[in-house]
A and B are shown apart, each in its own frame.
Chain A
Amino acid sequence: MLENIQQAFQSVWNHKMRSFLTMLGIIIGIASIITIVSSIKGTSEQIKQNLIGSGTNAVVVSLYQNEYPYDSNEMGAPDGVAVITPEVRDELLKLDKVSDVSLFYQRDYNTGVFYLSTGYNGKMLGVDEHYMDLYGYQLCYGRSFVEEDFTQNRKVVLLNTQAVSTLFAGKNPVGKTVEVRGEPFTIIGVVEQGGGFKPVIENLQDYEMYADTSSGSMFITNKGWEIAYRFDQPQSVAVKATGTDDMTAAGKAVADALTSSQIKTHDGELSYQAQDLLQQAEQLQAMSTSTNRQLIWIASISLLVGGIGVMNIMLVSVAERTSEIGLKKAIGARKRRILRQFLTEAAVLTSLGGILGILAGIGLAELLGRAMQTPTAISVPAILVAALFSTVIGIVFGLLPATKAANMNPIDALRRE
Chain B
Amino acid sequence: MILSMQGIYKHYYWGKNEVPVLKDVTFSVEKGEYLAIMGPSGSGKTTLMNLIGCLDKPSSGTYLLEGQDVGSKKEDELADLRNKYIGFVFQNFYLLPKMNAVENVALPLMYAGVPKKERLQRAEAALESVGLSDRMKFLPNQLSGGQCQRIAIARAMAGNPTLLLADEPTGALDTASGEMVMELFETINQKGTTIIMITHEPSIAEMAKKIYRIRDGMLDTGEGGAK
* Chain A residues near B (Cβ < 8 Å): 3, 10-11, 14, 323-324, 326-337, 410-411, 414, 417
Contacts and interface: CB of A to CB of B under 8 A. Distances in A.
30 contacts: A3-B116, A10-B98, A11-B98, A14-B98, A323-B94, A326-B94, A328-B107, A330-B53, A330-B55, A330-B82, A331-B88, A331-B107, A331-B108, A331-B155, A332-B79, A332-B82, A332-B108, A332-B111, A334-B76, A334-B79, A334-B80, A335-B75, A335-B76, A336-B76, A337-B111, A410-B55, A411-B50, A414-B90, A417-B92, A417-B94
A286 B84 CA distance: 64
Nearest to A11: B98
Contacts of B92: 417
B19 interface: no
Query: Which range holds the interface residue count of chain B?
Result: 20 to 34
Contacts of B62: none
A interface secondary structure, majority: helix
B128 interface: no
Interface in B45-81: 50, 53, 55-56, 75-76, 79-80
B111 A331 contact: yes
B80 A332 contact: yes
B218 to A, nearest CB: 21
Contacts of B75: 335
B1 interface: no
B56 A331 contact: no
Given A411-B50, A411-B56, A331 B82 contact: yes
A337 B88 CA distance: 20
Contacts of B108: 331-332
A326 B116 CA distance: 23
Contacts of A332: 79-80, 82-84, 108, 111-112
Given A327-B96, A414-B90, A333 B111 contact: yes
Nearest to B116: A3
Given A11-B98, A335-B79, 20 more contacts: A3-B116, A328-B107, A330-B55, A330-B82, A330-B94, A331-B82, A331-B88, A331-B155, A332-B80, A332-B108, A334-B111, A335-B75, A337-B111, A410-B55, A411-B50, A411-B55, A411-B56, A414-B94, A417-B92, A417-B94
Interface string B92-121: 101010100000000110111000100000
B149 to A, nearest CB: 14
Interface in B14-64: 50, 53, 55-56
Contacts of A334: 76, 79-80, 111
B79 A329 contact: yes
A330 B78 CA distance: 9
A323 B97 CA distance: 11
Contacts of A10: 98
Contacts of A410: 55
A334 B76 CA distance: 5
Nearest to A333: B111
A327 B94 contact: yes
Contacts of B111: 328, 331-334, 337
A14 B96 CA distance: 14
A329 B82 CA distance: 9
A331 B50 CA distance: 13
A411 to B, nearest CB: 5
A417 B92 CA distance: 9
Interface in B132-181: 155
A323 B93 CA distance: 11
A331 B83 contact: yes
Contacts of B50: 411
A93 B100 CA distance: 84
Nearest to B90: A414
